Amino acid sequence: MRTAAFAALAAAAIAAPALASNVELGPRPFYLLDRLQDGPLKEKLEACRESEAKTTLFSIGHRGAAMQFPEHTAESYRAAARMGAGIIECDVAFTADKQLVCRHAQNDLHTTTNILATPLAEKCTAGFTPASADAKASAECRTSDITLAEFKSLQGKMDAADRSATSVEGYMDGTAGWRTDLYAQQGEVMTHAESIQLIKALGAKFTPELKTPAEEMPFDGYAMDDYAQAMIDEYKAAGVPASDVWAQSFDLSVVKYWIENEPEFGKQAVYLDDRYEAAGTTEEEGPIDPNDPSTFKPTMAELKAMGVNYIAPPLWMLVTVEDGAVVPSAYAKAAKEADLKMVAWTLERSGPLNGGGGWYFQSIKDATSDDAMYLELLHVLAQDVGVVGVFSDWPATVSYYASCMGLE
C-alpha cells in the first residue's frame, strides 16, 4: 500500500523524537508494527520502538479501552489513560430520577451490565426472552428504568449478548473471541460526575457524548434542552474549563444549542455525523455519499456558518481507494476546505482485518487484508486527511503513532 503520506515520509528524516512519560503501551502496537510491510512508514515507526510514548490529545479513548475492558467503567478509563489517551469519552444517558450516567446507549444495560442476573431485571422495559425456533433471544433494559442508586449497584461487563441463548446466563456470555472477559469481573459503573473526577485525576481531558434518548422527550417534564444543559453544567460545577471539553452529539440541534447557549463549550462542540444512513437524515436530505459532494446537506460550509467547528464521521467516510492507494474522500476534502476540524471513529473496533475489516473499513475493504492496515489507515488519516484526533478501542496504538510522529 502506498499513499501520498508514505511518499512524504520517504523524503523526511526518520530520527525518533525525544519522548518522555509514564505511558504503558503493552505489546499490541509492536505486533501491528511487525506485520507492517517494509517502507518509509515502518522505518519511521521502528525508529521510535525504544522511545517512551507520551500522553497525546490525538489519542482518544473510545468508551475507555473497550477492546478488553468493560466500556464506561473506571477500569476502562484507567486503562485508556495508561495507554496515553489524552482525551477519554463518557457517553451520557439519564436515569429514572434524571441523573447522568456513562453508558453508550440509554437502552444497553442488558448487554453492558449484569442487570439481567439481578432483581433489577424486573424493572427492565422488556425482560429476557429466550431464543426459540422462530426468534432470537432478546431483552431491553434502560438507564431510565432504574434510579441512580440502583444503577450504581450494577457491574459493567463486556458489551455482548448471545442471541441464540435459551438462558440469561447464556445470553450474557456472548463476548467476541477476539475480545476477552479477563478484565470484566468487577466493572465499576460510573456516573457522569464521577467520570469527570476520575478523568481529571488521570490527567486527561473530556469528550462526553449526549446520547439520543430511548425515551420520548420530554421525559416526565425533562426536555432535550434540560438534558443538554445538565451535561454541560456538571463540567462547570466541577470547575473544568470549556477548553478541556469536546461535547459531542449526533443531533445537530443539540450541537447548535450548545453553540448558542454555552458558547465557550460550543466552540469545541463536535457534530457526530451519521448522515451515511437514512435514519440519520431527514427525507429532504437523504443519506450522504462520501464521494458525492452534492449529497452533503447541509454542506460543510453551511455547517461552519452555523458555528460548528468539529465534525466526526466514521473512519470509512474519510477515505477511499484510488489506483490501489488509500486516499482522502471527497467528504474529507470538503470538510478541510470548510475549515472543519475532523475527528475519526473508531480504530481497533473491528477485530482481525483479514476479512476486509467489516463496517468500519467498508470504503477500503479491497485494500484491507491484514491487521497492519490499522497503522496504514491511521497514517493516511493523520497525514493526508488531517484529522485532529482518532477514537480507538485500544488507545496504545494511536498513542504510539502520535508520539512517534510528534503529534500533540
> What local confidence, expressed as pLDDT, does residue 22 receive?
84
Radius of gyration of the chain (CA): 21
> What local confidence, expressed as pLDDT, does residue 345 receive?
98
> What local confidence, expressed as pLDDT, does residue 279 receive?
66
Query: Mind listing the domains of the chain with CATH numbers?
Result: 4-90+190-405 (3.20.20.190), 107-188 (no CATH)
Residue 349 half-sphere exposure, CB side, CA atoms within 13 Å? 22
Cα(73)–Cα(183) distance, rounded to whole angstroms?
11
Residue 351 half-sphere exposure, CB side, CA atoms within 13 Å? 11
> What local confidence, expressed as pLDDT, does residue 355 receive?
87
Triad 301, 305, 310: Cα angle to 5°: 75
Triad 90, 19, 41: Cα angle to 5°: 85
> What local confidence, expressed as pLDDT, does residue 2 receive?
45
Cα(274)–Cα(239) distance, rounded to whole angstroms?
32
pLDDT tens per residue across all 408 residues of the chain: 445 554 454 444 334 443 345 899 999 999 999 999 999 999 999 999 999 899 999 999 999 999 999 999 999 999 999 999 999 999 999 999 999 999 999 999 999 999 999 999 999 999 999 999 999 999 999 999 999 999 999 999 999 999 999 999 999 999 999 999 999 999 999 999 999 999 999 999 999 999 999 999 999 999 999 999 999 999 999 999 999 999 999 999 999 999 999 999 999 999 999 999 866 666 666 799 999 999 999 999 999 999 999 999 999 999 999 999 999 999 999 999 999 999 999 999 999 999 899 999 999 999 999 999 999 999 999 999 999 999 999 999 999 999 999 998
